[in-house]
Every structure is written in structure tokens, then in C-alpha cells.
Copies of this chain bind each other. A is one copy, B any other.
């Protein structure tokens, strides 16, 4: 029953037909979305990537054509030749709804078994089925639109960067294992027995070398790899928009990236981002929002009441403070009646997942204050607390007392959770903010030393350089993140280009010169021969696509993603390989039974 196209050639795409094509003879090719036989007249919805158009085999068609149309089933691939005409009953739901094509010729290019998942957006099938039959899942219009937008986003970004003299340069995928940072994917070498390449976690060192080489402005939309345990919206391989510039300081990098972001939001959301984009220090972001990627689309800012309750009789608070902790809270203002005791219990459970010991709460009602902790305070103290939160009737105050890092972590996430629960976020609102002045170091409990918060080449703020040896914890970095609606979409820094400063940095990180050289020798060598001031940024391309397509799942913006156990359900990768293959690359499988 299958035929070839023969001399038939597609003349137009399904979704491009409109009433302006009436009376034209066209040849269409695509998939049968739906077919029905209404009293001997066959109606076929024909689908290609541009949309759907209705094909009619009417009562005047030759018997042979009708017989063939009888065979059609969903997902058959067909070619149809016919004439465009006005429809009797217009379908306002689809762009081609005013017209239909009266078929004169039909070829069945391929038949189809009944697909195991529905080819429509509102398919309720499990994600496992979607990934196993990805080639069918990708027939859904929303998946096609996501990937089309992704391609268009890459184009817009590239056009902008080319206009601005960025040079696209490919960096190696088979590279050297990373001395610091996340876990590498390793690739055994056949030619060099016992040695391994690593897949790049990012082209960081390579792009810095390109600046040493004088390329001035580099960019790449590049695959990166991290072998970490996968949380939601993480993939073992992901894509970055990566760039680096020479002879720049913070403002230069930020300014050109603001123009890029403005272009993107204009193109995809028809929104005019106001420039310059607001900047907020890391310190302010933590204090007001508990996180370094604040969602600024709503309030509920964090209020510090430590000083107000330091001497109170409520031991949970005062003891926490005595042990160096803090007491802070948020005012979910105006929404107290949206939260039952059960709801608040759930919020407390939520906070406990961030290691908070508990969640105190105060409801301000017409009748006064309702709270399990009010009895521990004098009315003066209670009043002070309420005033700190600027509390009014109808407000719900949520308070955590703990180590400051736990307070921030739990309240920062609680704030987002509450806003989500209340459904008060406008999905079409985009609030961008640069977070700046990150700490240069963070203390690693595991390694008992300061480690670089970004990486060991991040430039300290000029005014903090003299604190490197004395108060490293106070040194701020020339680092910046762009945060949109509570998501870190990109981040970068100005790099150290002065070998003396780099040595001090390594010392602050606890590396001897030998250790530093062992880890970063080729970069240290390169920096001897004249290194320009330079800095850059990298965006999470998958995340940016998610943001622009309003996707909640990273797998909805990647054609062939992996599961949380890093497998591909379509191809069954990873898989076992033969012993010969392993021998060739000089390794053995060594699975320990644990």
C-alpha cells in the first residue's frame, strides 16, 4: 500500500494556507491527525510542523481515490494534491479554518501502527512513556514550538553577538580533568593507556586562554557536562551561552549583556526591559529575600526581629540568639485567611526540609492576635514585633529562629512557596535583577578551608584586595549573576589578570605554589606572556528557554533528554559494551557489590 512521492513535490506547508490561496492547486505532505467519514465524504486533518489543514474527499471523487482515502488512519504519512476552496463551516480555532483542500490525488507514503501515546498537547501519559516514545512526543505542537523557540533564541543570541564583534570559537570536548568543582565525566584513552580525558564542565579555562591569545571577544553556545546527582531540572549534559571579553570591567560586561537581554525580551515577549537593570548586592538580597536569586515579583520580604526578642522570655528565640542565631520572619500580608492551621503545619514541614527546627506564626485578625507563641511575650514586646513587620489586620507572620544560614534558606524558600500557593504571581511578568558583590570565598566545612565561591580566577573587588590575607570572609568578588523571576539565568565575573594577585588568591585558598601549579599550571604559564584584563558570563541556555516557553520541566526544552538516573529511555543509553571494546581502551568494569 506504500507509495513513493514519485514526481510529486510539496508546494506549500499545511499551516501556511489561508483564504488568499483559494482556487490554487496545491500539493501538501504530512501526517493524518484525524480522519472521519461523514456519509461517504472523507475529512482528513493533515498535519505538518506549521499546522493543520482540512482535506476533503467528496462524493465526486473517483472511486479509486475514495478507496484509498478509506485506508487512512491516524499518523499515516500522505501526499495530497488538490484545490483550495472556502469551507462551508468555518473553524475559528485554527489559522487555516476558513479553507479546505478538495483532494484530487493521494499517495500513502507510509502507514502507521496505532501510536502508544496521543499526538496532542493535553496528553496525560507518564513521562516515562513520553521519553520512551520521544519521537512521537516530539510530534506534539507544544514540544515542537518549544524547540522552534529554542532554535530561534540561539539565532537571536548569535546575531546579537556577531553584530557586537564576538567571535564564535569551538573549544575541545575531550579535555583535561577539572581539578576543582563538580565531578567529571571521564573518557578512557585508547592511544594513551591508563589515561583519561574529561568532558568539559564549562569552557572556563579555554575561554580565558582565548583572551590571552588576543581574541578580544569570544562566544560559544556549548554543551557542558557535570556528573552530579540529578535534581529536578538538571541534566548531565546541558547547554551554555558562554562569552568572554577583554579590556573590560564589571560595567562593560553588564552593559552589553543588558542589550542582549533587552533584545531577547523584545523578540520573544514583546516586552521593553528598562535599562539599566536594577543591581542588588548579594548582602541585600540575602537580608531581604534569604536567597541570592530573589523573585522580585512579590513582597513578603524578610524582617530581622533578633534585637526585639533578644531579652524575651520565649526561650526558643532568646536561646537561639544566645547561641549566635537569628530570629527573622516574613509578613504574608493580607492573606491570613488563606491559611488554615493545617496549611501552616505544612509550611512548617516545608521549612524543616531546609533544616529549620520549627516555624512560629502570628495571625492578625479583627479580634486581635492569634498565635501559639503570643503568650510568651509581653504586650509591649508583641507590639514591637508587629510593628517590625508593619502588621495590619489580615496579615500572617511567619518566623524562623535558627542559625542565620538556616533562617535564610528556609525563609527564602518559604517566601517562594507561599507566593506559589497563593497563586499571586503573574506569569507574564518578568523582573530582572543583577546580584553583585558576591563573597569571593565560602568556607567549606568538608575541606576545612575557604574555597572559591565562583572559581579561583575571580577578581576581588579592588577595594577589598587588602583584606585577602586578613579577613578573607569579607572579600567581595567582581562577580555578577543575572536573576529573572527567582531563577539564576546567568552568571560571571571579572578574572584576575595579574600574576601577583593570582598568587595571593591561591595562598588564600590554601594552595602551595606547587599545588596551584599542579592544578592550573598551563593557565599560570599562559598568564606570564601578557594577559589583558578580562571577564565574561555564561547563561544556562536550557533555563533561559524554559523561562521564555513558560516550561516547568527542563525535559520539555530538550529534544532527547535523560531521566533523573541519567538514562535515555529511547535508546537505552548507557548500555553494556563488549570486553573487546573495554580492552581496547585499557579498562575493566569493577562493580563493587555494596
Contact = CB atoms under 8 A, between A and B. Distances in A.
Interface of A: 2, 4-5, 9-10, 13, 29-32, 47-49, 75-77, 79, 109-113, 115, 134-136, 138-139, 144, 147-148, 150-151, 154-155, 158, 162, 167-177, 183-199, 205-206, 209-210, 212-216, 223, 225, 227, 229, 236-237, 239, 246-247, 249, 252, 462, 497-498, 500, 522, 526, 528-533, 558-560, 562, 565-568, 570-577, 581-592
Given A135-B529, A186-B581, A572 B176 contact: yes
A560 B206 contact: yes
Copies of the chain in the assembly: 2
Contacts of A173: 173, 199, 223, 225, 237
Given A587-B589, A590-B583, A575 B195 contact: yes
Contacts of A162: 151, 155
A139 B531 CA distance: 12
A241 to B, nearest CB: 13
Contact of A172 (B115, B144, B462, B560): B560
Nearest to A29: B247
A144 B169 CA distance: 11
Given A174-B237, A185-B187, A590-B583, A197 B573 contact: yes
A29 B247 CA distance: 7
A318 to B, nearest CB: 46
A187 B184 contact: no
Contacts of A190: 183, 227
Contact of A170 (B31, B170, B558): B558
Contacts of A170: 223, 239, 558-559
Contacts of A172: 237, 560, 562, 568, 573
B531 A110 contact: yes
Given A186-B187, A186-B585, A583-B590, 10 more contacts: A48-B216, A110-B530, A135-B212, A138-B210, A173-B225, A174-B566, A177-B575, A195-B576, A210-B559, A586-B589
Contact of A191 (B195, B249, B566): B566
A215 B10 contact: no
A75 to B, nearest CB: 4
B530 A192 contact: no
5 contacts: A109-B247, A174-B237, A175-B568, A175-B571, A582-B590
B186 A497 contact: no
Contacts of A210: 135, 138, 559
A2 B186 contact: no
Contacts of A585: 186, 227
Contacts of A591: 193-194, 586
B135 A151 contact: no
A590 B155 CA distance: 46
Nearest to A74: B530
B214 A174 contact: no
Given A158-B155, A174-B573, A193-B591, A183 B584 contact: yes
Contacts of A169: 147, 150-151, 559
Given A168-B151, A209-B134, A214-B31, A577 B177 contact: yes
Contacts of A592: 583, 586
